Structure 1
Amino acid sequence: MTDWRAVLIGFLTATILGVLGLTLPGVGQLAAGLIGGFAAGYLAGGGLGRGFWHGLLAGALGGILVGLVIGLLVAVAGWVGGPAGGLATGIAGIGIVGASVLVAFLFALESALAGALGGLLNS
């Protein structure tokens, strides 16, 4: 059974550290995902599999949030650009969906690995 409290705490940890990590591009987001996934896995406990699952969920939520924010920013830019901007951002939207899926996958993967370690340490 999924411990949503652990997932939410891991997600919030990764999100807050990710925002703070903007001062260190790349490194800050990587560390945020690892720490958030570890927190979710550790709080859920129960071994590798359970920690992996909870870290995966925490990281995936973070990736989905980033994708939604990027999509919203592009949509607003298209709206401001008028009909030509709408067409350009509509075409770009296909790439944004692909990039969002990739970002969500990467966030989830690193968090899941750290979550497995956290779950192992709290088994």
Structure 2
Amino acid sequence: MTNWRAVAGGFVVLLLTGLIGLQLPLLGQIGAGLIGGFAAGYLAGGGFGNGAWHGLLAGSITGVVLTLFLALLGGLLGLGAGPLGGFLGGAGVLLVGVFVTLLFAIDSAIAGAFGGWLKG
């Protein structure tokens, strides 16, 4: 059973540490995924599997939310180049967002497994 409170906690931690991590491209985002995933796994408890599941959900949801926001922003900014520019701008950001979502999901799941195991 999914503990949505733990997922929401991990989501908030991921967003906050991700904002701080913008100062260190890629490394800051990986660190944010690890910290947020650990928080979600620890809050959920229940061992490796349960912690990994909650960390994975927190990381995936954060990645999807950021991807949608950045794709919308890229599409709007690209509209200055016409309709095709808006489409290409949004699609390019969407592809990068898929990578970021996978990055958040994988490292959050690993850290969540450790957090779930630690709490037991």
Q: Is TM-score (shorter-chain normalized) higher than 0.5?
A: yes
Q: How many residues align?
A: 120
Aligned residues of 2:38 and 2:114 also touching (Cα < 8 A): yes
Gaps of at least 5 residues in structure 1 are none
Q: CA deviation at 1:53?
A: 0.2
Aligned residues of 2:63 and 2:97 also touching (Cα < 8 A): yes
Number of the residue aligned with 2:96: 99
Task: Give the letter aligned to residue 6 of structure 2.
Answer: A
Identity of aligned residues (%): 53
Q: CA deviation at 1:78?
A: 2.7
User: When the two structures are superposed, what TM-score results if normalisation uses the length of structure 1?
Assistant: 0.89
CA RMSD of aligned residues (A): 1.4
Q: Using the alignment, how far apart are the partners of 2:18 and 2:67 within structure 1?
A: 14
Label 1:94 to 1:22 Cα distance change in 2 as closer, same or farther (>3 A).
closer
* Larger Rg belongs to: 1
Aligned residues of 2:78 and 2:90 also touching (Cα < 8 A): no
Number of the residue aligned with 1:122: 119
User: When the two structures are superposed, what TM-score results if normalisation uses the length of structure 2?
Assistant: 0.91
Task: Give the SS at the match of 2:60.
Answer: helix
Gaps of at least 5 residues in structure 2 are none
